[in-house]
Structure 1
Amino acid sequence: MEIALLAAARSSHTTALLPCEEDSGYAIDINFGGKTFEVVFDTGSSDLWLAEQGFKCVNVNMTSVPAANCAFGPLAPPTFQDGKIPNENFNITYGDGEFLTGFMGYENVEVAGITVDKQEVALVNYAYWEGDNITSGLMGFAYPTLTSAYKGTNPAVDNTNTTDALYTNWVFNAIDQGLISPMFSVAMERGSNGGGGQLALGGLPSISYNKTFTSTPLHIVELIPDANAAKNYSFYTILPEGYVLEGAVESFWGPQEIEVERKTDYYAIVDSGTTLMYLPPHIAEEVNALFDPPSVWIEDEGVYENDCNATPPKFAVRINGTDFYINPQDILITGEEGYDPSTGGCLVGIQPSGDGIPNIYGDTFMKNVVAVFDIGASEMRFAPHEYY
């Protein structure tokens, strides 16, 4: 269903999205305990954490390495202004394998002029992280179901398949306290264009774009082994109708036939914290086969790459009757963020899901839409934002 969204919710506070991690992600500025920090903006997780002074940096094998290897920006003081939470620890592992542990406490946190007092947050004292020397942590905007606090002080004994110390994260506290309307929206823009876009709390971005939106409901789907996520909203998960691919012999629809219209069963997470799109393997394979020349699977890297001057096929995601095309700049990622010096090729923006990776609409998709995360209506809305 297409709807003309003529008015935003009652409160709209905006802040810039800042390209980070060599343009592979986006960050925002926050005020944390009276100090400003730049943090990764992530709609695919729920916690707000900063690395603390004196933290221990390790490699993937949990061997100690110099703190500089984790490449954090400015570090936070190792204390909570509003108190540490006793007998509780922070423990998270991200989809790319990075992991962090620490402790929970309370801080006043401000984003885009909105302050939540005594927000539960984490300070990290142990980390395997591949940072950019600018961002100091991460702020998650997904549902509280995905928060990563656990009872006890020893992360080694946490049962990470079920969070036993759930808490309300920043954006949901801001909603519950009536500080913003129950929505936020994201307009990502390519860093190569000189800007990163905008996050709007409680309303719509103030940038110029086509304000005809297509809506689709959010779904409760167990995409990770988590007992809480199996029965509550967790990720921002949608169900697209299909994919449009120029030159493909077959149409990409799921096996489920519905009398009036066919729908896929390819549930996908809308995730600002993931750089690429991860799609069912047969779809990703066909997309990459239709490049000119065809993409090559790099076994050692586990990704598709191509010549940096290759021509991508036309590709779109169909959501509730509307086709959202992906700009070729995002289907083939050239420049520093996409170039692989070991092969001389460039990373393709569409990769196969599986092996623990769900279908994800990351920045490759989000740079081509304005996305409204309407928590109050349990739906998402998208407007085209392919060219700018």
Structure 2
Amino acid sequence: MLTSAIFLLATGLLGISPSEAKSPKSISVSAATASREAGPLTASSNTLTLTRKQSPKGYNARSAAYLLGLAKIPPSDHTTTLLSLFIGEEFATQITFGTETFESIVDTGSSDTWIVETGFSCINVSNSAPETEAFCDFGPTYNVTDTFTQIPDENFNITYGDGEFLTGIIGTEEVTLAGITVKQTVALVNLAAWEGDGTTSGLIGLAYPALTSAYAGTNPHADNSAAGEQIVYSPIFDTIVTDGKSSDLFSLAILRDVSGPSGYLSFGGLPPVTFTENFTSTPILITTITGYPVTYDFYTINIDSVLLHGKPLPGSGGPGIQYIVDSGTTLNYFPTSAADAFNAAFDPPAVYNADEGVYIVACNASKPALDIVIAGTKFDTNPLDLILLAGTDANGNDQCISGVADGGSDPGSDVYILGDTFQKNVVIVFDVGAAVLRFAPHEHYVSNDPF
């Protein structure tokens, strides 16, 4: 999930609706630039444990599915869709600012590392009215200490796709992440329009530095103008690499179990999970979703094809069809024809529900065989990930949805998604230096996740 060249203070203050804010105005795909050849991989000594966090609003505004307009959003604060349990899911880990440790959201689509500071002002996302701090529902707040140094004449200003926004100050702080301590440029949030989860206090951005959200001057209203030009700085992963404390790659393993860790994020090497260490590489493409007032960059790849019972589904892959690799999106989103064909292969067949934007399937349906072919290598999907328990109906009966959704019918303009349905079955290395994503099969493992 890179955020944003912010033009003005906030969509809420400007009278822009959340639907307008999240509507992408353009989607472009470009190749990443390599600085070295891909090299051997070893186990990392700097690993973060991930935990799942559920947004009370029922969606993850930083997910590719949300920003592409693919996810059906609950129509009110008191209504949920079948998918809302899943698109509201994010991953968080621990980060230390000075001597204070917090839980923060991990976001591979944005670049800034920020934390909310004690005494911040809270704004209602819907109507811009002042609220109590508790209304924004952050976790613990950061107390400024002597290790923080404010950078003069700069401000922080970021808006997310659903109208949430944050402003504050820019400075440097001793930050520790995965056992690595660096002097890092960070943002302290002192004004927030936010709908939190009650536990996380900030965000850790792991994407490219091109669209970091620092601006010249102290007036957020002037940002992205001649008086408030964007100031690009080194995000935390870049700083870790530049300081020689990690090689320029990180790896991600999303786990299925609900009682233990939700996954691992490792810097400079491989995570502590059992998998087949036979990696397949494919070039990193960057998908930029540009809207008003939010811009995101996502790690993206081409795939060869989607296989159904070992046979390629026409139009599911090839050089003109891109797939975003996004841990913030739960389902896989395939081209319409491929999604329809796959879901018809359940027994009994899954049925598309336009109101929900998902395929409804019997919880005990027989599951088809699904594989993703990347750079000539076939990656199978564990049947456990093909049917997700989504709740109960009015009679108390379980309702389930397919792990594959419809991503659109126009490969010329649509970009598709490999979400957690796929990612629970692989270990992914984001080899930024070599400009490739590297995939290895995650060995099938016993799970207590009912999804």
Query: TM exceeds 0.5?
Result: yes
Q: Does 1:333 align with 2:388?
A: yes
Deviations 1:203-233 (A, max 9, x none): 111222111111111124544369xx99xxx
The DSSP-based 3-state class of the residue aligned with 1:126 is: strand
Q: Which amino acid aligns with 1:339?
A: G
Tell me the residue number matched to 1:257.
none
Asked if the contact 2:321/2:415 (under 8 Å) is kept, the reply is no
Asked if the contact 2:316/2:334 (under 8 Å) is kept, the reply is no
Shift in Å, 1:251: 2.2
Asked if the contact 2:98/2:145 (under 8 Å) is kept, the reply is no
Q: Does 1:113 align with 2:169?
A: no
1:32 to 84, 94, 97: 97
Equivalent-residue separation in structure 2 for 1:304 and 1:167 (angstroms): 43
Equivalent-residue separation in structure 1 for 2:135 and 2:360 (angstroms): 27
Equivalent-residue separation in structure 2 for 1:279 and 1:314 (angstroms): 15
Tell me the residue number matched to 1:351.
405
Shift in Å, 1:78: 5.9
Equivalent-residue separation in structure 1 for 2:156 and 2:108 (angstroms): 19
Q: CA RMSD in A?
A: 3.5
Equivalent-residue separation in structure 1 for 2:255 and 2:314 (angstroms): 30
Tell me the residue number matched to 1:133.
198
Asked if the contact 2:151/2:170 (under 8 Å) is kept, the reply is yes
Tell me the residue number matched to 1:41.
106
Equivalent-residue separation in structure 2 for 1:340 and 1:126 (angstroms): 39
Shift in Å, 1:125: 3.1
Equivalent-residue separation in structure 2 for 1:324 and 1:193 (angstroms): 26
- The structure-2 alpha-carbon separation of the partners of 1:247 and 1:206, relative to structure 1 and needing over 3 Å to count, comes to closer
Equivalent-residue separation in structure 2 for 1:246 and 1:318 (angstroms): 13
Equivalent-residue separation in structure 2 for 1:306 and 1:235 (angstroms): 30
Deviations 1:166-220 (A, max 9, x none): 1110011111111111111111212425222222111111222111111111124
Asked if the contact 1:41/1:272 (under 8 Å) is kept, the reply is no
Asked if the contact 2:124/2:130 (under 8 Å) is kept, the reply is yes
Q: Does 1:239 align with 2:239?
A: no
Asked if the contact 2:121/2:132 (under 8 Å) is kept, the reply is no
Tell me the residue number matched to 2:370.
315
Deviations 1:306-325 (A, max 9, x none): 45444543322211011222
Tell me the residue number matched to 1:252.
315
Please give the TM-score of this superposition, normalised by the length of structure 1. Answer: 0.80
Deviations 1:51-101 (A, max 9, x none): 223331423444445543433211223678422233333333345654433
Identity %: 45
1:384 to 441, 444, 451: 441
Tell me the residue number matched to 1:73.
139
Gaps of 5+ in 1: 255-262
Asked if the contact 1:12/1:180 (under 8 Å) is kept, the reply is no
Equivalent-residue separation in structure 2 for 1:274 and 1:342 (angstroms): 27
Asked if the contact 1:242/1:264 (under 8 Å) is kept, the reply is no
Asked if the contact 1:367/1:386 (under 8 Å) is kept, the reply is no
Tell me the residue number matched to 1:8.
42
The DSSP-based 3-state class of the residue aligned with 1:212 is: coil
1:153 to 218, 239, 246: 218
Aligned residues: 365
Gaps of 5+ in 2: 1-38, 55-84, 446-451
Shift in Å, 1:239: 1.3
Equivalent-residue separation in structure 1 for 2:90 and 2:308 (angstroms): 26
Asked if the contact 1:244/1:252 (under 8 Å) is kept, the reply is no
Tell me the residue number matched to 2:254.
188
Please give the TM-score of this superposition, normalised by the length of structure 2. Answer: 0.70
Tell me the residue number matched to 1:59.
125
- The structure-2 alpha-carbon separation of the partners of 1:192 and 1:220, relative to structure 1 and needing over 3 Å to count, comes to closer
Q: Which amino acid aligns with 1:132?
A: D
1:216 to 277, 282, 289: 282
Tell me the residue number matched to 2:28.
none
Shift in Å, 1:345: 3.4
1:265 to 320, 330, 341: 320
Asked if the contact 2:106/2:203 (under 8 Å) is kept, the reply is yes
Task: Single out whichever of 352-361 and 81-90 deviates more from structure 2.
Answer: 352-361
The DSSP-based 3-state class of the residue aligned with 2:320 is: coil
Asked if the contact 2:122/2:136 (under 8 Å) is kept, the reply is no
Tell me the residue number matched to 2:53.
20
- The structure-2 alpha-carbon separation of the partners of 1:311 and 1:13, relative to structure 1 and needing over 3 Å to count, comes to same
Shift in Å, 1:326: 2.6
Asked if the contact 1:105/1:120 (under 8 Å) is kept, the reply is yes
- The structure-2 alpha-carbon separation of the partners of 1:166 and 1:277, relative to structure 1 and needing over 3 Å to count, comes to farther
Q: Does 1:274 align with 2:329?
A: yes
Equivalent-residue separation in structure 1 for 2:386 and 2:123 (angstroms): 34
Tell me the residue number matched to 1:259.
none
Asked if the contact 1:25/1:275 (under 8 Å) is kept, the reply is no
- The structure-2 alpha-carbon separation of the partners of 1:59 and 1:287, relative to structure 1 and needing over 3 Å to count, comes to farther
Deviations 1:103-152 (A, max 9, x none): 322111111111111x1112223334443222212111111123222334
Equivalent-residue separation in structure 1 for 2:306 and 2:427 (angstroms): 19
State the structure with bigger RCO (CA 8 A, min sep 6), 1 or 2: 2
